[in-house]
Amino acid sequence: MKDRTPSITPSIAKMIDHSLLHPTLTDQDMARGCEVGKKYGVAAVVVKPYAVGMAAEILKGTDVAVCAVVGFPHGSSRIEVKVEEAKLACRDGATELDMVVNLGKALSGDWDYVERELKAVAEAAHRAGAILKVIFENDFIAADEIKIKLCRACERAGADFVKTSTGFGFVQGDDGKYSYRGAREADLRLMRENCSERVQVKAAGKVRTLDDVLKVRALGVTRVGATATEAILTEAEKRGLE
């Protein structure tokens, strides 16, 4: 299993989970994205479940992890389905899993269900030597109390990371248009403050520039989900940052 101890000052590249999750991405797009992750030596490449085997083959022999999403993007699958999805992903070569929590259950106050789900998937991941990141989808949560309870449930269940967003949690505004806020500073502070140092924090959603990455790193974030990986790391190289 990977060392779960967070680096105090992780390098920029090793903070990035290069995200390849848009539904329109073709196999060729996915392969090119894996090559980007390989070129820059990022922490992980995050792929759709069907593409785990392909990603594992491309990244073989590197220190870039293959991360599969589970219950993505809405988190509404049954516990048994999420566990099986986790097992299949690990069998195919994933060593990290990003799972969307059943937010409807959390908002309903059914914390027994939430913790059973978290524990079941965490145990499946850890048995396979993988780590588990739990996605809250904070744009759908108005009350900080729910986010705090989710942090504590993740801690008790043995999750390795808490994560802000999928990047697909679109909320309709008063103008009728859909958008998302992603990784907000207030949420990142809240999540960091309500987890022990054993549980790391991943910022995802609107982390698009090097300055964005540096800002969240200063808040205690050790991973970010990004699609603008090349631009971020090219800028880091220009500035002489690691």
Give catalytic residues, as residue numbers: 98, 163, 202
Q: From CA 126, how far away is CA 72, in angstroms rounded?
A: 20
State the amino acid at position 54 in one-letter form: M
Q: Which residues of 91-122 are buried (b: 16+ CB within 10 A; e: fewer)?
A: ebbbbbbbbbbbbebbeeeeeeebbebbbbbb
Alpha-helix residue ranges (DSSP H) falling in 93-204 = 103-108, 111-127, 144-157, 185-193
CA angle at residue 234 from 231 to 235, to 5 degrees? Answer: 85
